[in-house]
Amino acid sequence: MKLSDDMRFAHPVLTPETGDFSEGIFSLETEVEEILATGKVSIRYNIELTETSVRELVENGLASVGIFVRCGDTFYSDLRELGWPEGKVEFEKGSLLNRVTIRPVIWLSQPLPEWKPDNVHPEFTLPLQLAAGDILAFDDEQVLSVGQAKLAPMESIFALVASPSQPEGQLSVKLDDEKITIIAGEQTFKMINALRHSLAKAAVLSSVYLPAVMEVLDALRDNPEAHENRRWKQPFAAKCTVANIDYQSSLLENAQTLLEMPLRRLDTIAEARS
């Protein structure tokens, strides 16, 4: 079963959206660990479950906690059961790569003929009769980044080129090449190149790369799946995943986050002049 946030059930399910329970939450804190020498990946987790009726079922072995794990690049798709309340789940080399989604879920391990949960919405008539496998709770989908794409230096996925047709002092960005191409006039190009190899490099990040990154984010806001066949897309998307970047939020804030707050590096210039 593929869960989605807008799914509805005939019985109460603990989710952030439904309001089937008047109180209590179910969430999962995760951390990816990668062993580069072996290629194995593990996900450390900590389960938070504060709804008492569902928690009692889990603690008594009547319900199980797990994660749906999907990876489009490797075609991996599986439901992995988790230990309670924390632990680590491991994946073999090659199972997960690049963008990985996980969806935390709780389901019944055996039939429950007469369940009388606390804090349920009055629309549900108690007791409830549930079957093994019925969903009791699920949380928002999480997106993780696996592999070395996220480690690529930001500047390595950009190319600065000169063009006689580009107005001086004005930049444009081209996304349909293997690198994100920043186009500058010939004199502007020479000036930027000189600054890139000086103490003023931080100023280049702010004046050149910051608006370019905003342009990329704006393009992906309208179509997150665009440019999948370009070499720059995977490392850029991986960096966004690691930084929890939402393409729909502020372009300026997101660009500054991806460039690790370039204005802070202007301190280097100020110190050199003092």
pLDDT digits (tens, 9 = 90+) for 44-80: 999 999 999 999 999 999 999 999 999 988 899 999 9
Domain boundaries defined on the chain: 26-147, 151-273
Angle of helix 251-258 relative to helix 210-222, nearest 10 degrees, comes to 120
Residues 6+ apart with CB under 8 A from 77: 68, 69, 70, 71
Per-residue three-class SS string for 64-107: EEEEEEEECCCCEEEEEEECCCEEEEEECCCCCCEEEEEEEEEE
Q: Euclidean distance between the first and final Cα of the chain, in Å?
A: 63
For residue range 217-244, what is the model confidence (pLDDT) as tens digits?
A: 999 998 988 998 898 998 999 899 888 8
Percent of the chain with pLDDT over 90: 56
Q: Walk across the sheet containing 26-35 and list its strands.
A: 26-35, 40-49, 86-91
pLDDT in tens, 250-270: 999 999 999 888 887 776 555
Lowest mean pLDDT among 121-125, 148-152, 161-165, 229-233: 148-152
CATH number (1.20.120.1750, 3.40.50.300, 3.90.180.10, 2.60.40.10) of 26-147 reads: 2.60.40.10
Encoded tokens for 238: 């991986």
Structure tokens at 269: 């210039």
Is the whole model's pTM more than 0.85, yes or no? no
